Amino acid sequence: MQTALHTLEASAGHGIRVVLVSYTPGGERLVAASARLSLSRKPLESLLGLPEGEVEEWIRETLVRGHFSPWEHSVYTWVAEGCTRVCTHQLVRHRIASYTQQSMRYTEGVLRGLALSAAEMAGMECPVKPGRTQEEARRAYQCYSEALRWAAESLGAEEIVGLAWPAFLVPSRPGREEAAREAVQAASRYYQLLSRGWHREDARYVLPHMVRTRIIVTMNARELVQSFFPLRLCTRAQWEIRAVAWALRGLLLRVHPRLFRYAGPRCVLLENSQRREPVTPEDIAGGRVEPGIGMCPERVPRRGIPACLLSAMRSTLPRRA
């Protein structure tokens, strides 16, 4: 697999971005050729050189027949940045994938920037970096802790949310201000523990799951179309990972539309398993195609599937202004 010439990125809202960093060149043709290879005795060169018009036909044929092993040969690497550990804990449950996540044992991640912003607002002069010696580090951590405690106790509603936002994803729900204060207070306790000589891997126990992180993921097309998208594009998915999934689908449509235009929640996967010609989520949500299944796997009846799909395409929480 070669690295893509340039990365593609999309916003998932809420301070999260999804970046496609690498993918299999000619992945669509490779899937089609692999499907053809499984059924043909023709020479390899002939199979790999199939006419452009047949690529779509073979992709659609494998989709409706549920013949997804050829899809495993097209591989995608992408990054979710600014998401929370709530999101990544769900993400890593997809087993046919490779993951590398930002370590909070070897880095403070986004927390030092939060502490320095709080120090500036408080008029405190905290070191930009903890320092080389243990004593210097402890003094810096204590300064960070005091600045964050001041912020949690002194800032107004909008100020505390604005301060917390780059380091913590604070949902736009009732009680948002209190959640932001608690997150900043937790960061203060984190640095207080570091100032007392705790290791980062132990001090991080006091941090809430809303702390932002980043993770790089490698999945093949089969895992994406048969597992990740069916579960995570659905309205039943948690809103954050659903936003990531729809942003990722948008990026994949830009590089391999013939593979991913039919990708959707489980209702779409089931629908396409029963049709001779596959349909897209947009076809159903837009009313251009009436669902043929009586009920989706999440127990939504046929008449409610288009509205449910349309809802799934939208974030359930408003983006921060």
Per-residue pLDDT of the chain (321 residues), as tens digits, is 444 446 999 999 999 999 999 999 999 999 998 888 876 666 666 667 788 888 999 999 999 899 999 999 999 999 999 999 999 999 999 999 999 999 888 888 899 999 999 999 999 999 999 988 999 999 999 999 999 999 999 999 999 999 999 999 999 899 999 999 999 999 999 999 999 999 999 999 999 999 999 999 999 999 999 999 999 999 999 999 999 999 999 999 999 999 999 999 999 999 999 999 999 999 999 999 999 999 999 999 999 999 999 999 875 443 443
How many angstroms separate the Cα of 65 from the Cα of each of 55, 57, 61, 220, 273? 16, 12, 6, 19, 7
Q: What pLDDT, on the 0 to 100 scale, is given for residue 136?
A: 95
How many angstroms separate the Cα of 43 from the Cα of each of 36, 59, 211? 11, 20, 54
Centre a 10 Å sphere on the Cβ of residue 4 and count the other Cβ atoms it contains.
16
CA distance 91 to 233: 13
Note the CATH number of domain 8-102+214-263.
3.30.1360.170
What residue ranges in 116-192 does DSSP mark as E strands? none
CA distance 156 to 188: 17
CA distance 231 to 122: 45
Q: What pLDDT, on the 0 to 100 scale, is given for residue 320?
A: 41
What is the bridge-based pairing of β-strands 75-84 and 16-23? antiparallel
Contact 147, 126 (CB under 8 A): yes
Among 199, 244, 196, residue whose Cα is nearest residue 224: 244
**Is 95 an annotated catalytic residue?**
no
Helix (H) or strand (E) holding 98: strand 97-101
From the candidates 181, 204, 214, 232, give the one annotated as an active-site residue: 232
CA distance 168 to 162: 10
b/e 110-144 (16+ beta carbons within 10 angstroms → b): bbbebbbbbbeebeeebbeebeeeeeebbbbbbbb
Q: What pLDDT, on the 0 to 100 scale, is given for residue 146?
A: 98
Contact 17, 11 (CB under 8 A): yes
Q: What pLDDT, on the 0 to 100 scale, is given for residue 315?
A: 57
Domain ranges in the chain? 8-102+214-263, 111-209
| Secondary structure (3-state) at 38 | coil
The number of CA neighbours under 13 Å toward the Cβ of 84 is: 22
